[in-house]
Amino acid sequence: MSSASLLEHDVSLRPYNTFGIDVKARLFARFRNVDELRALLALPEVQQADKLVLGGGSNLLFTQDFNGVVLKNEIAGLEIIDQEEDTDTALVRAGAGESWHGMVQYALQQNLSGIENLSLIPGTVGAAPLQNIGAYGAELQDTFDHLEALEISTGRLRTFTREECGFGYRESVFKGPLKNQFIVTSVVLRLQRQHRLNISYGALRTTLADMGIEADPTPQDVSEAVIRIRRSKLPDPAQIGNAGSFFKNPEISQHRFDELKAQYPALPGYPVPGGVKVPAAWLIEQCGWKGRRFGPHGVHENQALVLVNHGGAQGANIRDLAHEIIASVREKFGVELHPEVNIM
């Protein structure tokens, strides 16, 4: 099959985004390896078009049809690439098209730890480093070793170390200076054979206790606790359209936090370098948004961070709701929220 015949025209993207927004891509193609990707990028109609690389579509909000080419990353593969059993760590490589939770499960099956706190995060492995995914006291950068990415303009593969990825809070160089210049093809993590589990997050300890595990949890136990917490808080996109947490947790100065704490004694906060991280969900809930519904879209009843498509919503509806929430939090608290979801 020629690379040109891999291109489809006017394809609905509804099955490929977890919000379930029904927009169309003018051109659409899948690639399962680097050679297929290079062949697609060599096509004149692809070279001339705006490009969007799609993984699980779990961090996207489409507000209109995409008048370019959508490239669906389906590069598979999970393997341990160093075989030295006597070392404390192991390098695990995953194709960028693998599901992230599938990689977590693979690691647990190999009795490797380090990413169990990131269980059940939707999306693909290739998307994980773009925004340095994190949850329950852990971030991707904690275990990241390197990735390979293909440069769109040249077709060359390049290796990026952790330092070169410029990780920050839900940030990387691929969302900044190198945005839209590279397509991630594989990710390598350094995982632990000797387990040092992170159960500092309060809800994790509580859930483990509810599971009857008071001491010496295994990585599998921590994963199961995280899955229970996520399922209790976050709606399943298969039941109701959503992209998980829509907003980042804002970071403010200690001085500003002290001012707000004096005014709102119940305000939670967590120390971070240079200030305090405040839960966006708490701020949004105080502004009265939790559980509000506006026809086919709204804010989830159990989690104020999650905007939802009850069915038939337009992406623009959800985008406008997000802007209203941002404005109300700014007005009440003087704190600026920023979307975690990419709005197209």
Give me the average pLDDT of each 10-residue run along the chain (344 residues).
71 92 94 95 92 86 93 94 77 95 96 93 91 89 95 94 90 90 95 86 84 87 91 85 90 93 92 90 95 94 92 93 96 93 87
Residue 62 and residue 200: Cα distance in Å, rounded?
Answer: 36
Residue 170 falls in the annotated catalytic set = yes
Two structure tokens written together for 103:
């990689």
- Which candidate, 281, 257, 288, places its Cα nearest to that of 270? 257
Residue 142 and residue 155: Cα distance in Å, rounded?
Answer: 29
- Which candidate, 90, 258, 58, places its Cα nearest to that of 188? 90
Residue 86 and residue 193: Cα distance in Å, rounded?
Answer: 9
User: What integer pLDDT is reported at residue 272 of this predicted model?
Assistant: 86
Contact predicate 124/73, CB 8 Å: yes
**Radius of gyration from C-alpha coordinates of the chain:** 21
Please tell me the pTM assigned to this model.
0.84
Specify the pairing of strand 66-73 against strand 51-54: parallel
User: What integer pLDDT is reported at residue 86 of this predicted model?
Assistant: 64
CA dihedral 252, 258, 264, 269 (to 10 degrees): 50
Residue 279 and residue 180: Cα distance in Å, rounded?
Answer: 30
Contacts of 119 (CB under 8 A, 6+ apart): 101, 104, 223, 226, 227, 230
Residue 36 falls in the annotated catalytic set = no
Contact predicate 229/204, CB 8 Å: yes
Contacts of 257 (CB under 8 A, 6+ apart): 267, 269, 275, 276, 278
Residue 342: strand pairing partners:
60
Task: Kindly state the helix (H) or strand (E) to which residue 41 belongs, with its residue range.
Answer: helix 34-41
Specify the pairing of strand 157-161 against strand 144-151: antiparallel
Residue 139 and residue 144: Cα distance in Å, rounded?
Answer: 9
Residue 340 falls in the annotated catalytic set = yes
Contact predicate 309/318, CB 8 Å: yes
Active-site option among 170, 190, 228, 319 = 170
Residue 104 and residue 24: Cα distance in Å, rounded?
Answer: 32
Active-site option among 119, 172, 186, 245 = 245
284: buried, middle or exposed (CB in 10 Å: 19+, 13-18, 0-12)?
Answer: buried
Active-site option among 98, 116, 148, 340 = 340
Residue 280 and residue 248: Cα distance in Å, rounded?
Answer: 7
